[in-house]
Amino acid sequence: MRYIIEAVANLDAKLLERLTALLADCVNQGASLGFYRPAQTERIVNYWQATSKQLENKDKQLFIAFDEQNNVAGTVQLNLCQKQNGCHRGEVEKLLVDPTFQRRGIATHLMKALEAWAQQHGIQLLYLDTQTGDKSESFYRAREYVLSGTIPSFVTDAQGRLHSTSVYYKELR
């Protein structure tokens, strides 16, 4: 199956609905994405509405992988630094792949598209964080992201337990 990755500048109602379902599915599968499970639809809709405003303001770039039937297979975001001395860097956020599409290379293609766009727009440094011990750490290391360090007690789970986060970076020069 082939996938098309598009940079999306605005979210219409249908796409907002599809992205809400994708994020809820990933959260309910146990991904640490800033939301507790079970996913609360209202919180996730609010998140995507805020993201939509960031897209309109060009503060963020959104990349979506669509399959041949135009289903959303995955997505990733690049949050652009708004500080004058930080315009050369961006934060990778919310790499999501629909659980039914996982293990097909979609995450890799999304990251390649994000990195290519970043380089074309003068972004020289990417960074991200992920919950320490999460399976995503090996994914990022395989894509040449370097562990900068960990921050203890960074997030809580639904039971109030604290977890650390691992911070990674990649220079694109």
Q: What per-residue confidence (pLDDT) applies to 67? A: 94
Whether cis (ω within 30° of 0) applies to the bond prior to 38 is yes
pTM over 0.75: yes
Strand arrangement of the beta sheet that strand 89-97 belongs to: 4-8, 60-66, 72-80, 89-97, 125-131, 162-171, 146-156
C-alpha distance from residue 66 to each of 29, 32, 70, 109 (Å): 21, 23, 5, 12
Q: Read off the pLDDT of residues 58-102 as tens digits, 9 standing for 90 and up.
A: 999 999 999 999 999 999 999 999 999 999 999 999 999 999 999
Task: Provide the pLDDT confidence category of residue 108 given band limits of 50, 70 and 90.
Answer: very high
CA distance 7 to 65: 9
- Single-letter code of the amino acid located at 165: T
CA distance 47 to 170: 26
pLDDT at residue 1 tops 80: no
Only one residue has tokens 């990195």, namely 115
